[in-house]
Amino acid sequence: MESHTDLYRWCRGKGVYLNIPDWYFLNGANKTGMGYREGNWSLPRAYQEILERQNIFDGTWEKTPSMGWMFVPLTEYQGGGAAATIEPLKEHLPHYEQRLANLFGAGIIACYRGPRLYDNDETKGVVKKWVDFYKRHRAILNSDILHLRRADGRNLDYILHVNPALKEKGLLMVYNPLEHEVRQTLSIPLYYTGLTRTAALCERDKKSRNLTLNRDYTIDLAVRLPARGTTWFVIE
């Protein structure tokens, strides 16, 4: 351990940014692993989408999103064959976008393992869409997460970023893993946003609407998501 920390401190002294799979934040590390099993990325792509959100949900109880990294192998990784592989990206674009939505929606910067991030203009547009989303909402996405419903592939799953010190006091990400549209009313707790009476909600950068908080600081939010859809709400 002393040998490791001596190296990490030396690296930080030289301005080297370190992703380290250990909890060495006071000894030179910038990030540790979010938490995942290597074998996950050998499973079929549909499984990887759910497992990724489960790993993020489980890995952010004791650290903020920017303290942990995730892993996105774009080429085959430890087996799994074509069913587990994202490349060619343009041929699996809905899956690739879902992975980007999972990660950037949670405020997670992943390690992408492969020769390229896009392979045509359409793929590049999807990557740019989610990078721009992250840049636009970076402060709230790097804030604490409220764990509202863990992904299980059977119903909507969702998380809420909160920070009462920001103009954007909350950002809710909602995912539909099912093969059919889902309409549902969600009870969203806003106590930790600092809001007490009303909240202005803006879905996917559209026109905002005002909702009145219930006496327990929750709002009743009606959502409608298409099959395998993703949406987000900015809360002010």
pLDDT at residue 106, rounded to an integer: 98
Predicted confidence (pLDDT) per residue in 14-72, tens digit = 999 898 888 888 898 989 999 888 889 999 999 999 999 999 999 999 999 999 999 99
Average pLDDT on 131-156 reads: 98
Least confident of 24-28, 93-97, 185-189, 192-196: 24-28
Q: What is the pLDDT of residue 230?
A: 98
Write down the pTM of the prediction.
Answer: 0.94
Long-range contacts of 3-9 (CB under 8 A, 24+ apart): none
The model's pLDDT over 204-236, given as tens digits with 9 standing for 90+, comes to 989 999 999 999 999 999 999 999 999 999 999
Work out the pLDDT band at 113, boundaries 50, 70, 90.
Answer: very high
Scanning the structure block, which residue is given the tokens 């009145």? 212
C-alpha distances out from residue 220 to 27, 145, 203, 207, Å = 45, 19, 15, 18
**How many Å apart are CA 146 and CA 57, to the nearest integer?**
9
Round the average pLDDT of the chain to a whole number and report it: 95
- CB contact at 8 A, 54 and 41: no
- Closest by CA position to 71, among listed 127, 23, 112, 130: 112
Binning pLDDT at 50, 70 and 90, where does residue 198 land?
very high
